[in-house]
């Protein structure tokens, strides 16, 4: 169990938001019906993609593209990332979050990338009961970011490299399926360490209610995300208009399509809304890698007629920020639909 001093003042902040509302109530979540049918997130064995057998490669690639269209989410096993590296990542992450809150929030660790709760939340349904380090890949090898956490650096460097390799492999499959060459895509879009980032998440146990968001419903503003979660559970995604819980699988990484691939594929691949629910008794950890383009990359659809106007990643990010400020939440891709 974590020392009290490590956890940010989530309870105080959350309670204040609840009491500042016109009609206060602790439980925040509407629209949280879980599909208790037997929908299970597809599990794709990537061994086929990495081997020499052409038929196995084609079969694996078609599973990836089908899951990206039907679910926008899938799990991968035999993904080539060393399980020992994943284990070390988690160990280092746990140590990092044990740092007293006062230090995490003020000492500039990891390029000042520490965030907690939802500073702009005015209602319980846009409050996230979590803390995170949101680390740009450019800073990952920078020794001066690490303070006393010297052993974290090598693990983060290795983890980021492994994620980048896997993300590129998956992106290549998705691009080729659109009839495009990776080379042509990479001429327009630069996804490298200048723009990608890692987010280390901690969701402290939440004694107030199990109906509070660890992470509010959202889509990811990237091409794709690769997530490793622990065994606690809590991640849910929308499938056929219902929330489906993702059962933790210790051998799997979770992949989801982000907004930019949805736009690029003219809605063939789906950027699906997902959220995390808190656990009343147990804290939860996850690490997410985000494959993002450079800010000046032009996001356009691969075929005409295009559902979306062309936009740069900088314009997309600016719109997301503006909406968060003005309406309190991200509106996302629909802002760029052609009228």
Ligand X SMILES: O=C(O)CCC(=O)C(=O)O
Q: What is the distance between the alpha carbons of residues 263 and 268, in angstroms, rounded to a whole number?
A: 9
Q: What is the distance between the alpha carbons of residues 163 and 153, in angstroms, rounded to a whole number?
A: 15
Number of residue whose CB is nearest Fe ion: 220
- The region of 31-39, 106-114, 203-211, 215-223 touching Fe ion under the rule CB under 5 A is 215-223
- The region of 14-22, 49-57, 218-226, 317-325 touching Fe ion under the rule CB under 5 A is 218-226
Candidates 131, 220, 222, 230; binder of Fe ion (CB under 5 A) is 220
User: Are residues 132 and 115 in contact, defined by beta-carbon separation less than 8 angstroms?
Assistant: yes
Closest to ligand X by CB, 140 or 227: 227
Q: What is the distance between the alpha carbons of residues 76 and 249, in angstroms, rounded to a whole number?
A: 10
Tell me which residues in 214-253 interact with ligand X (CB under 6 A): 215, 220, 227, 229, 235
Q: What is the distance between the alpha carbons of residues 73 and 270, in angstroms, rounded to a whole number?
A: 8
227 contact choice in ligand X, Fe ion, none (CB below 5 to 8 Å, kind-dependent)? ligand X
201 interacts with ligand X by CB under 6 A: yes
Closest to ligand X by CB, 177 or 256: 256
Candidates 88, 118, 286, 301; binder of ligand X (CB under 6 A) is 286
Each residue of 200-226: b (16+ CB within 10 Å) or e? bbbbbbbebbebbbbbbbbbbbbbbbb
333 interacts with ligand X by CB under 6 A: no
Residues in touch with Fe ion (CB under 5 A): 220
Residues in touch with ligand X (CB under 6 A): 199, 201, 215, 220, 227, 229, 235, 274, 276, 286, 288
């Amino acid at each position: 169990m974590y020392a009290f001093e490590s956890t940010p003042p989530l309870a105080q902040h959350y309670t204040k938001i609840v009491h500042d509302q016109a009609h206060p109530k602790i439980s925040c979540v509407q629209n949280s019906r879980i599909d208790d049918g037997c929908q299970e997130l597809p599990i794709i064995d990537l061994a086929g993609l990495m081997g020499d057998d052409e038929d196995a490669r084609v079969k694996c690639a078609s599973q990836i593209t089908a899951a990206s269209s039907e679910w926008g989410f899938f799990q991968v096993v035999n993904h080539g990332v060393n399980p020992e590296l994943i284990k070390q990542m988690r160990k280092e992450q746990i140590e990092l979050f044990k740092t007293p809150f006062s230090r995490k929030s003020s000492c500039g660790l990891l390029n000042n990338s520490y965030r907690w709760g939802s500073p702009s939340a005015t209602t319980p349904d846009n409050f996230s009961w979590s803390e995170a380090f949101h680390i740009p890949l450019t800073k990952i090898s920078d020794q001066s970011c690490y303070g006393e956490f010297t052993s974290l650096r090598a693990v983060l460097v290795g983890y980021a490299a492994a994620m980048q390799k896997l993300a590129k492999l998956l992106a290549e499959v998705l691009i080729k399926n659109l009839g495009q060459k990776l080379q042509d895509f990479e001429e327009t879009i630069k996804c490298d360490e200048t723009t990608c980032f890692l987010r280390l998440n901690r969701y402290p146990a939440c004694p107030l209610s199990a109906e509070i968001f660890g992470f509010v419903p959202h889509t990811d503003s990237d091409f794709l995300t690769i997530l490793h979660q622990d065994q606690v559970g809590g991640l849910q995604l929308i499938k056929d208009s219902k929330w489906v819980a993702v059962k933790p699988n210790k051998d799997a990484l979770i992949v989801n399509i982000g907004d930019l691939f949805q736009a690029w594929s003219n809605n063939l691949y789906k950027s699906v809304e997902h959220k995390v629910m808190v656990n009343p008794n147990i804290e939860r950890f996850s690490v997410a890698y985000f494959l993002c383009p450079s800010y000046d990359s032009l996001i356009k659809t691969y075929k005409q007629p295009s559902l979306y106007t062309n936009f740069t990643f900088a314009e997309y990010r600016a719109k997301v920020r503006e909406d968060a400020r003005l309406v309190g939440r991200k509106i996302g891709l629909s802002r760029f639909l052609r009228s």
